[in-house]
Structure 1
Amino acid sequence: MISKEIDTFDQMIQRDIRKLDKKNTYTKPTNLTTGEFEGLKQLEKDTNLIIKPADKGGAIVILNKEQYNQEANRLLDDLHTYTKLGRDPTERIKNIFHEYLQRGKDSDIINDNEYRYLKINFPRIPVFYYLPKVHKNKEQPPGRPIVLGIDSISCRISEYVDHLLQPLVQKTPAYLKDTITILQLIRDLKWESDYILATCDVNSLYTIIPHKAGCDAVQHFLIESGDFKTEQIQYIIEGIDLILRNNYFWYGDEFYLQCN
């Protein structure tokens, strides 16, 4: 006689088998025709094309590789911003950051859990790419440079610094979270005929900030907050300086360093 337990187990196994059969026969719904789907697959396999999202507007941009590389090289040829390196600096920079973290742990600025999280033993090399600004030029769109630094040497230390600085940033008089915040601020403003509503844009915001001036500004607000000890402030500023001076990446078989 089959026990209730075995019978229940048998039913569970059969139910799981039926689920597997359904998964194997399931076809994900699509709004593409067969021809469109095949065309999309061909685009994906075409190594002469580069497909990127537009910098703004949510569009998809298709560029030939030569055009894409020309704009990338134009950006990277800015000698005031980037320096070409002769070899891969990963191991050297890794040792610098590991020594920095060890000193933080030895002086009790970071605890054991923070040390283990922040220390990356097998980092990925950051990769450069750009997003086409088709809203500025559809035929020859300039690029917005981006460095993909996930799992890079400094990514978690950057995350750690950001976590400490965010509360201070939100307390500064110039802080605006988003467009909704601006609308809320001007909602009760009495508009006069001689008022002018204007916006401004900073060209190359992150790369034009001098490293020393940026560190000095952060140090000022850390001291002003009164929430940090002197040795912790020095450690944070040193971390920011290390991140800025060792911001390297790879593109087209070459290594570069942001040198501002």
Structure 2
Amino acid sequence: MPYLQRTLDRVTDSYAYFYALAKIHKSPWKTRPIVLVSGSLLYGLGKWLDQQLQPIIRKLPTYLSSSFALKTDIDNMAGTEFSCMSLFTGDVVAMYPSINLEDAFTRIAEFLSTSSLCENVD
């Protein structure tokens, strides 16, 4: 894969770095952890993987391009009976640590190898 090789050739510092940003609008102040991977060993792989998965993700019936698209979709439902609808949201901080990674990777691999959404994706 020439793309991955070129990104690896440009790596000067192979490590990702963690730092914290202050959430000054919270009382008391809290911090948000940030992971900086730009330029690290994993940066090229992550960027390549994102490029490979984007065409699949855009085909999913639940795909939303932005929060603006969600707001537009909701606005377009004017007059709809909202009492028969549900909206589920999740806290990413709480959700990801609870995912069994072995099971998740198995399910993702099965989806990528069997779903018709993944056909003709480079």
Q: TM-score when scaled to structure 1?
A: 0.38
Cα distance change on mapping 1:215 and 1:162 into 2, 3 Å: same
- C-alpha separation between the residues in 2 aligned to 1:217 and 1:182? 27
Cα distance change on mapping 1:195 and 1:169 into 2, 3 Å: same
Q: Which residue does 2:120 correspond to in 1?
A: 227
Equivalent residue letter for 2:53: L
Equivalent residue letter for 2:81: E
Number of matched pairs: 116
Q: Which residue does 1:202 correspond to in 2?
A: 91
Please say if 1:153 is aligned against 2:46.
no
Consecutive unaligned residues in structure 1, runs of 5 or more: 1-109, 230-260
Please say if 1:216 is aligned against 2:106.
yes
- C-alpha separation between the residues in 1 aligned to 2:97 and 2:37? 16
Q: Which residue does 1:176 correspond to in 2?
A: 64
Q: Which residue does 2:54 correspond to in 1?
A: 166
RMSD between aligned residues = 2.9
The one-character-per-residue Cα deviations of 1:146-170 (angstroms, maximum 9, x if unpaired) are 1111111111011111110111111
Cα distance change on mapping 1:206 and 1:147 into 2, 3 Å: farther
Q: Is the 8 A contact 2:21 2:32 kept in 1?
A: yes
Matched position secondary structure for 1:130: strand
Matched position secondary structure for 1:132: strand
Cα distance change on mapping 1:116 and 1:220 into 2, 3 Å: same
- C-alpha separation between the residues in 2 aligned to 1:211 and 1:149? 21
Cα distance change on mapping 1:115 and 1:182 into 2, 3 Å: closer
Q: Which residue does 1:60 correspond to in 2?
A: none
The one-character-per-residue Cα deviations of 1:94-119 (angstroms, maximum 9, x if unpaired) are xxxxxxxxxxxxxxxx2xx3243132
Query: Larger Cα Rg: Structure 1 or Structure 2?
Result: 1
Q: Which residue does 2:6 correspond to in 1?
A: 117
Equivalent residue letter for 2:90: D
Percentage identity across aligned positions? 22
Equivalent residue letter for 1:116: Q
Shift of 1:217: 3.5
Cα distance change on mapping 1:114 and 1:198 into 2, 3 Å: closer
Q: Is the 8 A contact 1:168 1:221 kept in 2?
A: no
Q: Is the 8 A contact 1:222 1:228 kept in 2?
A: no
